[in-house]
Amino acid sequence: MFTTRPEILGTFGVVTSTHWLATASGMAMLEKGGNAFDACAAAAFVLQVVEPHLVGPAGDMPAVFYSAKSKKVEVLCAQGPAPEAATIEAFKALGLDLVPGSGLLSTVVPGAFGGWMTLLRDHGRLPLREVLEPAIGYFENGHPMLPRVSDTIGTLTDLFTKDWPTSGAVYLPGGKVPEGRKLFGNTAAAETYKRILSEAEAAGGDRETQIQAAYDAWYKGFVAEAMDKFCRTTEALDSSGKRHKGLLTANDMARWQPSYETPASVTYHGWEVFKIGPWGQGPVFLQTLKILEGFDLAAMGPTSAEFVHHVVEAMKLAFADREAYYGDPDFVKVPLTTLLSEDYARGRRNLISEKASHDLRPGTIAGFEDQVARMLAGVRIAGQSGKGGASVGEPTMASMVAAGRRGDTVHIDVIDKWGNMIAATPSGGWLQSSPVIPELGFPLNSRAQSFWLEEGLPSSLAPFKRPRTTLTPSLAFENGEPRLVFGTPGGDQQEQWQLGMFLRRVHHGLNLQEAIDLPLFHTQHFPSSFYPREARPGHMMVEESIGEAALADLERRGHAVERAPEWTVGRLTAAEKSADGLLRAAATPRLMQAYAAGR
């Protein structure tokens, strides 16, 4: 089969990410003797520089990884929680019924930096300086700005000029939108990381001591102090149309720390797939697999209407359960064992017919009836709530709205020669999320927009609670052996694009690049995780390259088909360790910036 790029093959190591500079920087760590965890962290810091409209230093990060040393799969949760002052009552007192999609009110504790430091301290090999230097160099000396970043800044010029002048000071040098493919730097952010590194190295020569000192500089030192001051003293315009101060404090920062968790998992046709828990949408992927297990997908063509229909209908059911049941399990009871069980999947599978459903159909589990009813009563239907339109607080561009991608971020997959493997999906802290903090050179995040301000829902806002994130990296074993890491940016579409690729890999024998290149599809049938939290019943978006016959068939089945131009949907990357030890990697050609490398 023709592919847009070769599937990368090697034995030393492979790195794939959503930007070629990040991939190259990660590969450089492997060449220096680092492992997959060093490479992943270095790539992530570079992504903060080169894709600031999709990820920033003050964002969040989940990762799922396999350690060749411990022989274990673990989830690293670097999703920060809501501040202590973030209560439903506090937001209602401001006249709000939704958490704004941008501005300071929607900030949670920035978890990504703590996550990377924890990963490096516990599992990495290289000194901190080696890992941070590529990002610092691009911040300080400049990097070729992506045209899409320039376009994003262009759409925000008025906001940055009139309302968020600290952002304009960074992203509108000389009062002008920086040109795409020209060098662009951020000296303030460079100075922040250089100071962190200086304080770390001043703490002593021991690698772990330095990494801990860097962590403390962020969460207990000058970074936390600058964030606290900015939230207390700045009233920032947000997507509510009003100006509000932030709720995040230095105490919130100091109180939090990342955590290692046991992943959720299911078996499927000889594979075992590992995902983050129900504080994110990871179990949606797992639920969908169990529902689909009863269909003969291998007999359906990988681009057939029959295949797409069954996958989308199964996803609608799993996402309905996401809305009804998923939330931070430290705060709410999530019946995950039931949701992932064979019996439950069988009942859900029986709801799928040859016609598309336009109803939101969560399963009813004993003891949760009232919770399900409250969720259904609060669903906002696009075009009916009077609150349509994309918010500036999610990483949206005109081209992405046209392609149905209302949320986006970055992704990294790495496998090294020792057999360590990791998939990580950093996000948040986008340049359009909130104003830049002048002393730091970057903005805070807006992840709290994923909370509801209605009581009694699993994702209702509460102090110290994790928002239900859309970030969802994946790791899979085949026949008991660690085999595959993969993921994608894309908000609510992340699970959907990954699922199509994985199923084509499993059932149709495609290699990674072939599976990524085939036409992609998704649905926005269920409530969005992003402001203004609306649903589009029966919706399906499909790349036109799937063919007129399949598109017509899907319409006959009752889907509200939205046609996307070819090569416009999804930003998948993946890496695999074959049974013979050969390493493989692939990256999407869409947007023309993701890249895989290896040798």
pLDDT in tens, 79-96: 999 999 999 999 999 999
Is the pLDDT confidence value at 322 over 70? yes
Q: Structurally, how many domains does the chain consist of?
A: 2
Indicate the residue type of 177.
V
Kindly list the distances between the CA atom of residue 330 and the CA atoms of 277, 384, 463, 466, 467, in Å, as whole numbers in the listed order. Answer: 11, 34, 12, 9, 12
Residue 213: strand, helix, or coil: helix
User: What does the pLDDT average to over 253-270?
Assistant: 98
Same domain, 151 and 199: yes
* Tokens matching residue 354: 């040859």
Residue 461 lies in a domain: no
Dump the DSSP string for 420-449: -EEEE--BB--TTTS-EETTTTEE---GGG
Residue 162 lies in a domain: yes
Query: Which pLDDT score is estimated for 1?
Result: 85
Residue 598: strand, helix, or coil: strand
Q: How confident is the model at residue 325 (pLDDT cuts 50, 70, 90)?
A: very high
Residue 174 lies in a domain: yes
Whose CA is closest to 227, among 243, 204, 194, 249? 249
Residue 574 lies in a domain: yes
Whose CA is closest to 1, among 513, 521, 500? 513
User: What does the pLDDT average to over 262-287?
Assistant: 98
Last residue of a domain, one of 422, 450, 478: 450
CA 467 to chain centre: 13
Q: How confident is the model at residue 389 (pLDDT cuts 50, 70, 90)?
A: very low
Q: Which domain, by its residues, includes 75?
A: 8-260+412-450
Higher pLDDT, 404 or 84: 84
Same domain, 227 and 362: no
User: What does the pLDDT average to over 171-177?
Assistant: 97
The CA distance from 149 to 48, in Å, is 12
* Tokens matching residue 453: 């301000």
Residue 120 lies in a domain: yes
Same domain, 538 and 574: yes
Kindly tell me the burial class for residue 366, based on how many C-beta atoms sit within 10 Å of its own C-beta (0-12, 13-18, 19 or more): exposed
Last residue of a domain, one of 450, 479, 503: 450
pLDDT averaged over the chain? Answer: 95
Residue 562: strand, helix, or coil: strand
Last residue of a domain, one of 404, 428, 450: 450
Q: 0.85 exceeded by the pTM?
A: yes
Q: What is the DSSP letter of 162?
A: I
* Tokens matching residue 550: 């399949």
Strands (E), 139-226: 143-144, 183-184
Is the pLDDT confidence value at 305 over 80? yes
Same domain, 75 and 179: yes
Same domain, 243 and 123: yes
Residue 390 lies in a domain: no
Whose CA is closest to 83, among 55, 106, 112? 106
The CA distance from 569 to 520, in Å, is 6
